[in-house]
Structure 1
Amino acid sequence: MANWTDPRATVAPPSSVGARADYDAGLRSYMLSVYNYMASGVLLTGIVALLFAPYARDVLINAAGTGMSGLGWLITLAPLAFIMVLSFGINRLATGTAQALFWAFAVVMGLSMSTIFITYTGTSIAQTFFATAAAFAGLSLWGYTTKRDLSGFGTFLIMGVVGILVAMLINIFLQSSAMAFAISVIGVLLFAGLTAYDTQRIKSIYSYVAGTDFMAKSVIMGALQLYLDFVNMFMFLLQLFGGRRD
């Protein structure tokens, strides 16, 4: 995220046995907090999406049924505003404010994602969710435990995400099913890679923030990164394998 520095080159873990044990215990607690926030955010988004789904068509779709309503576009784009505020303003935000913004972001994401219950069957949504959860767990575990430095992939992955966003905007006008399929396949691969990369990066950041006032806010930012990886991978998989309603 913006305004973060990669600490891997500047802070090394302690070398003594006792200090190392304390460091490892602190790291496990830190990562557990990140995962708890991330999982709670995903759960909150899912609950809001499910509860709002019966009203989604009336609120988010225009009267003609041909596209998004004005309120629909506002709700759809609102999560981006939360991401920008958290990413670029995290250093100036109080911890409580950052936490409130994270939960508000999860709620708004739930509102914007409620349309999946209109488009896809409940069974396919559940199957895709659990498949995504299993893939995410495996990829994140690999990113946490691997000795391989994944930092070199960061620029490539971020450039790929930018490319996907551009392609999605173009396809709004082209409405190409082949292009949509390619975007979904590449999107799954990119966010799979980002899951491992972000996990390793969050793990590395602990060395930099441990014992500082910024630690609690870095937990929120780490959870936001992994949340976005999970949700995007889920949405691309759903587009590929989700069973559509008649």
Structure 2
Amino acid sequence: MADYNTYRTAQSVGTRSAVVDEGLRAYMNKVYGLMAVGMGVTAAAAYGASVAAVSDGQLTAFGAAIYTSPLKWVIMFAPLLVVFAFGAAVSRLSVQGATLVFYGFAALMGLSISSIFLVYSNVSIVQTFLVTAIAFAGLSLWGYTTKKDISGWGSFLIMGVIGLIVASIVNIFLQSSAMQFAISILGVLIFAGLTAYDTQNIKNTYLRLAGSDQDFLGKTAIMGALQLYLDFLNLFMFLLQFMGNRE
């Protein structure tokens, strides 16, 4: 009887483990899927805005508005404000509403970085995107599969991001090439670390919340997609400063 009970208990544990594994795969696929669509929206918005901004080698009225007028500052900092507002309001949104806000943010981000198509060659942008995708995939896979607990990285990486933001704002006015080079190096390292850290954190979040309300899990998946989207985009932008060929 004891052996039978032990067998039934082991079988039950194995079944629950299999259910969790299946749910985790579905959850991570949803996170990566949302992130991929968001990146597609950003790329389309960025390229579309850059095409609309230039005609016959000259800035159009639209281009002048988003690149040379005071509106450029609004476009530059609006995505940052949207991220903070989204994080505060996501609990009050439906899953569909949160998804639309995420895609709207991705489009706004595309508009804010659209000038890269005017500064760098299309070939170097594509090459840098592919390098970023390969690096991101490797880092995210490591973060997902490693048995090492890297949760302790979080506070140091967030402090690094804050430092990058402050340094980048200061350098807008200083225009120091040496400072920009240092910012780029640190940016690549910090967002490489964040890619692994966020992936493990997203995985652990699901394991803690498995069995929770599906609506709540849907929202956490969107927030996870947003985190990885920002990691990928920032890693791409910092790598572009090294690998991009200027027009």
For 1:222 and 1:108, the matched residues in 2 are separated by 19
Question: How much identity, in percent, do the aligned residues show?
Answer: 54
Query: Quick check: 1:235 aligned with 2:241?
Result: no
Structure 2 counterpart of 1:222: 224
Q: Cα deviation per residue 1:54-75 (whole Å; 9 max; x = unaligned)?
A: 2335435469xxx642222222
Give the 5 Å matches for 1:1-246.
Answer: 16-56=13-53, 57-58=59-60, 59-61=62-64, 68-211=68-211, 212=213, 213-245=215-247
CA contact (8 A) 2:46 2:112 kept: yes
SS at match of 1:148: coil
**TM-score normalised to the size of structure 2?**
0.88
Residue 127 of structure 1 aligns to a residue whose secondary structure is: helix
CA contact (8 A) 2:167 2:183 kept: yes
Partners in 2 of 1:76 and 1:60 — Cα distance?
14
Question: Hey, what's the Cα distance between the residues in 1 that align with 2:200 and 2:22?
Answer: 17
TM-score (norm: length of structure 1) = 0.88
Say what the alpha-carbon RMSD is for the aligned residues: 1.6
Asked if structure 1 preserves the Cα contact closer than 8 Å seen for 2:65 and 2:71, the reply is no
- Structure with bigger helix share is 2
Show CA shifts across 1:197-243 (max 9, x none).
Answer: 00000000002333313101011000000000000000000012210
Does the 8 Å CA contact 1:82/1:101 hold for their aligned counterparts? no
C-alpha contact 1:143 1:200 (8 A) present in aligned 2? yes
Deviation at 1:139, TM superposition (A): 0.2
> Which letter maps to 1:234?
F
Deviations 1:145-185 (A, max 9, x none): 00000100000000001011111111112111011001001
Alpha carbons 1:198, 1:225 under 8 Å: kept? yes
CA–CA distance in structure 1, aligned partners of residues 189 and 143 of structure 2: 15
Amino acid at match of 1:31: M
Structure 1, unpaired ranges of 5+: 1-14
Runs of 4+ residues deviating >6 angstroms:
none
For residue 45 of structure 1, what is the amino acid of its counterpart?
T
Gaps of 5+ in 2: 1-11, 54-58
Larger radius of gyration: 2
C-alpha distance 61-192 of structure 1, shift in aligned 2 (>3 A): farther
CA distance in 1 between counterparts of 2:151 and 2:183 reads 24
